[in-house]
Structure 1
C-alpha cells in the first residue's frame, strides 16, 4: 500500500523483511597457493555460521518497518549484519529529522536520537560493512547532510560542544539582513544543530573519557537529552541547542576490558543501545547493491525524511497506547541481572519509545501504533540480550556451552556443573552461575526437567539458536 505524505503525494511502499537474508553465497575461485579452494571456502562459510549462532536470538519482527524494508532490499549485497544496517539508519534518520519530531514520557522531552554501540569481532563482525551499506543509502537520500553533518574524532566535551557554540562576535550587518552570530570555524551549516558522530574505534574514545579532567562523559549525558550543552565554568560556553547522534564500533574484548563498574554506574553507557553483530555471508569481490536500487531507495527515503521533519509532538493511537503500557512495565522493571547489566540496559523503555517514534515519523504518522512499537520492542529486547552477551567473557561462555552441549539431549544439572565442571570451587561455581544465566537469557541454553523416581531434576541443554539466517 502506498502512503500519502503531508502534501497528499503518494509514497512508494517498501516491503519490510519478515526474516533476515541467507548467510551464504557462491564460493570464490581464488585462494592461497596450496589450499583447496572448496575446503577453504567451506570452512569460511562454517565459521560465519558459527559466529552467527553465538549471537543472541533475534525476533524477525525487528524488520517489520519501513527501514527494515530498506535493509532487506540491500541485504544480499553486503556482508554486514542487517541489525547493524538497521541501527545505523535509525541513528542517521533520527538526527536528520531534527529537533521538531519528538515524544514525551511524562514531563521528559525525548528527541528522536538513537545511539547504537555496535559490538562485533575485528574480522568476523564486519561492523564497517554494515555502516557502509547504511551510509550509502543515506547519502543517496541526503548527500549534503552526509557531507556536512557526519563527523568523527570525539576527544573532549569542550570539542563536541564547540560544534554548537556561536561566536559572540556578530557577523557584520550588511543593511539587508540582521546581524547573526557566526559559527566558529563553519563546523556545521549556519543554523543547523544536527550532528552525527561516527567512531569506528570507540575503544579509543573510552580511553580519552578516562583521562583526568576530560568532560566528554558529562557532555554526552547532556547531549542524549537533546539541547543545551552550555556550561557555567570559568571558560563558559554557550551552546543552547544541539541534536546529536552517536554511533560507535567496538569489539567485545575491548568493551569488557575498558568499561568498569563505575563507568556503568556513571550513567554514560546506559545512553547507548548495545547491539551484537557478525558477518552474514561470504561475498568475495562484492560490489554492493546496484546503483539503480540504491538511487531508487534513496529517493523514497528523501521524500519521507523531508515530510517527517515537519512533524512535531508524536503521540499514540488507542491500540498503541495500550501496547505501550505493557512494554513500559516490561522495560521499566528490574530484570534481576547482575548490576553492570542492569545499569547498561536501564534506558530500555525510553529507547523503545524513541525507536517507535522514528518508525512512526517515517510512516508520516503523528501517532505511534502497534506496528511501530512491535519492531522497536524487538530491537530493544535484542539490545538487552546483547548487553548480557557483551559483558560475558566469550571464552568462559563458549567453554561452558561446549561442556553442556557434550551431554546432548540428556543435558547437565546444576549440581553436575558445581561438582563436575567447577570441582566444587566456590568462586568458579559463582562465575559459572553467572555465565549460565547469560546463556539461558540469550537463548543458547534451555532449561528443562529430567524425570526420576522422585521430583523431576532441572537440567540445562544446549539448543540451536532460533536466529533468522
Structure 2
C-alpha cells in the first residue's frame, strides 16, 4: 500500500503506536492518516480527497479510490487482469457478488490472512431466520446485521420482564452489539431501517418513544430512562424541608439506541470526566445507574437499555489504542463482522415482499413475552449446556479473552430470545444451538477484528516490535532502544512477562561467548515454533532452542 500512496503524492510522516503515520499530498508538517500493518488506512484529515475524514479503508478500497475514482467494479476488473486475488465465493449465508480479495501482493506471498467468519445456518432459526431469508435476496445488507438487529430489537421490545438467573445475578434480554465493517460501505442504515419497519408494525409506541441515537455522555443516556427527580426545598412558613417533584421521569424504561457512527461515542467516552462508559457498564449489568453531577443528579432503576452500533474496523482499532476506558465496557458488547453482501444497482424488490406472516408471528411472540417471567432450559438443553459450558468460559487469552469473557450470559440471553420468538418460556435444544451458532460467529468476529492484541498499549507495542524483528528476536536492551528509552524498563519487563503468561511470546537463551549469564532473547511464539521446526528438520533437539552467536553469525544447537 505504501507504494500506491507514494505514487499519488502521499508521504510517510513517522511511526505511530499501531501503524505508520502518513501525510496527504502537499503536507509535510503533520500527519493525515494511519496506515496499519495489514494495509488498511484510517483517515483523520478533512482535506485528504478522495478519502473521507474519520473513515477507514481496506487495501481494495484504497486502490479503488486512488486508481478508479471509487468505481469498485472497474477496480475489480483491473485487479483481475493483473492477477491479484480471486472472486470470493458465496458463503453459508449467501454473500452474493462479494468484493475481490486484494491484499496488496500477487500470488501467495506473506502470511495467510485470518479468514472472514462464517455464520452457521443454525443461527437462522425461527422467525428471525425467516425474516432474514425472506429479505436477504433483496438487500445489500449483511445477513448477520439483519439477524442481530432483529434479535436486539425484539429483546428491547419485550422489556424488563422475561429473564433468567445465573447464581445470584438476574439477566434480562437486552443486547449490546456492534457491527464492524472493513469500509464505510456496509449498508449500516439500510439493515436497521428494514428491521425497524417490521417492529413499528408491532409496537408503535416503542418505535416512536424508545428508539434514539446520539450518545455522548452518561447523563444524556440516563436522562432518557430517568426516575422521577425529587428535591427538597425548605418551606418558609414551617421551616421544614418539603418534597418537590422537579421531573416526573420516564414511565417506559425501554430504550434502543442506534449509533450509525459508534466512533463518536467511543471518543466521547474517553474524554476526561465523561461518565458514558460507567453508565453503559451499569445498565448492562443491573439496569441501575446514576450520575453524580451536583446540580443535576439523575438516577435510573430497572432501565432496559439496548445498544446497536456500527464502526469501521480500522477506526475501532485506532480508538482502542488511544482510549483505555473503552476496554472497560468492550466485553458488554457482541462484536460482529459485517460487509456489503452484494451489489443491487436497482435496490432490490423488498417493497414488494409480503411480510404479513412474519409480522403476525412477531406480534404473537411479543404478546406472549409480556406474560413470561423467569425462564429456564429443558433437560435436553441443560445437557447440551453442560457439554459446552467449559469451552465458553475458557480457552481465550489476550484482548480477545477480555472482550469475549461474557460468553455464557450472552449465549443464554440469545437462547431466551430465540425461545420467546417461538412463544416458548423454556429454552429447547434448537434455541440453544441457534444461540451457540450466533455466539460462535461473534467470537470468530472478535478474533478477526482484534487478532493478537492484548488490550495493553505497551504489550501491544512490544508485540509489534517483535513482529518487526522477525526471526532475530530482541533482547530487553534492544526493546529499550526501540522505545528510545522513553518507556520504563520495568514496565517493558512486566509486559514481556504478561505476554509470556498468555503464550504469545517465548524467551530463548543466547550465549555471546563472554563470561556471565546468557542473554535472554524474546520472540513471538509463532517465530520460536518456526525455529523449532527448522531444528527438527535438521535432526536436532526441538525441546529447547538455544541461539548461539559466534563472530556475528547465528547458529542453532
Q: TM-score, normalised by structure 1?
A: 0.70
SS in 2 for 1:245: strand
Q: Which runs of 4+ in 1 moved over 4 A?
A: 35-47, 51-54, 179-184, 418-421, 425-428, 451-455
- Is it true that 1:141 corresponds to 2:205 in the alignment? no
- Is it true that 1:227 corresponds to 2:287 in the alignment? yes
- Is it true that 1:153 corresponds to 2:204 in the alignment? no
- Is it true that 1:357 corresponds to 2:405 in the alignment? no
Q: Structure 1 residues 231, 60: CA separation in 2 closer, same or farther (over 3 Å shift)?
A: same
Task: Identify the residue that residue 442 of structure 2 maps to in structure 1.
Answer: 383
CA contact under 8 A between 2:161 and 2:373: conserved in structure 1? Answer: yes
Matches within 5 A, 1:419-430: 422=470, 424-426=472-474
Of residues 270, 279, 283, the one that matches 2:344 is 283
CA distance in 2: counterparts of 1:425 and 1:299, whole angstroms: 62
CA distance in 2: counterparts of 1:233 and 1:331, whole angstroms: 39
Gaps of 5+ in 1: 1-30, 171-178, 395-417, 439-447, 458-469
Higher strand share goes to which structure?
Answer: 2
CA contact under 8 A between 1:101 and 1:308: conserved in structure 2? Answer: yes
Residue 322 of structure 1 and its aligned partner are, at CA, apart by 1.2
Task: Identify the residue that residue 126 of structure 2 maps to in structure 1.
Answer: 65
Q: How big is each residue's C-alpha offset from its partner over 1:17-65, in whole Å with a ceiling of 9 and x where there is no partner?
A: xxxxxxxxxxxxxx999x9899589999765263899512332222133
CA distance in 2: counterparts of 1:120 and 1:419, whole angstroms: 25
Q: How big is each residue's C-alpha offset from its partner over 1:155-201, in whole Å with a ceiling of 9 and x where there is no partner?
A: 1111111112244479xxxxxxxx999545xxx6xx21100000000
CA distance in 2: counterparts of 1:333 and 1:119, whole angstroms: 24
Of residues 251, 254, 258, the one that matches 1:194 is 254
CA distance in 2: counterparts of 1:42 and 1:289, whole angstroms: 32
Structure number with the bigger relative contact order (C-alpha 8 A, sep ≥ 6) is 1
SS in 1 for 2:309: strand
CA contact under 8 A between 2:269 and 2:326: conserved in structure 1? Answer: no
Q: Who wins on radius of gyration, i.e. which is larger?
A: 2
SS in 2 for 1:290: helix
Q: Structure 1 residues 112, 37: CA separation in 2 closer, same or farther (over 3 Å shift)?
A: closer
CA contact under 8 A between 1:140 and 1:294: conserved in structure 2? Answer: no
Q: Structure 1 residues 112, 181: CA separation in 2 closer, same or farther (over 3 Å shift)?
A: farther
CA distance in 2: counterparts of 1:45 and 1:131, whole angstroms: 28
CA contact under 8 A between 1:137 and 1:298: conserved in structure 2? Answer: yes
Task: Identify the residue that residue 392 of structure 2 maps to in structure 1.
Answer: 331
CA contact under 8 A between 1:226 and 1:244: conserved in structure 2? Answer: no
CA distance in 2: counterparts of 1:419 and 1:156, whole angstroms: 38
Task: Identify the residue that residue 48 of structure 1 maps to in structure 2.
Answer: 99
Of residues 342, 352, 360, the one that matches 2:401 is 342
Task: Identify the residue that residue 4 of structure 1 maps to in structure 2.
Answer: none
Matches within 5 A, 1:30-49: 47-48=98-99
Residue 288 of structure 1 and its aligned partner are, at CA, apart by 4.6
Residue 420 of structure 1 and its aligned partner are, at CA, apart by 12
SS in 1 for 2:374: coil
CA distance in 1: counterparts of 2:467 and 2:248, whole angstroms: 66
Q: Structure 1 residues 155, 264: CA separation in 2 closer, same or farther (over 3 Å shift)?
A: closer
Q: Structure 1 residues 180, 76: CA separation in 2 closer, same or farther (over 3 Å shift)?
A: farther
Which stretch has the larger CA shift, 383-392 or 73-82?
383-392
Q: How big is each residue's C-alpha offset from its partner over 1:325-348, in whole Å with a ceiling of 9 and x where there is no partner?
A: 22221111142x32x111111111
Task: Identify the residue that residue 223 of structure 2 maps to in structure 1.
Answer: 162
Q: Structure 1 residues 230, 295: CA separation in 2 closer, same or farther (over 3 Å shift)?
A: same
Task: Identify the residue that residue 26 of structure 2 maps to in structure 1.
Answer: none
Q: Structure 1 residues 392, 109: CA separation in 2 closer, same or farther (over 3 Å shift)?
A: same
Which stretch has the larger CA shift, 292-301 or 238-247?
292-301
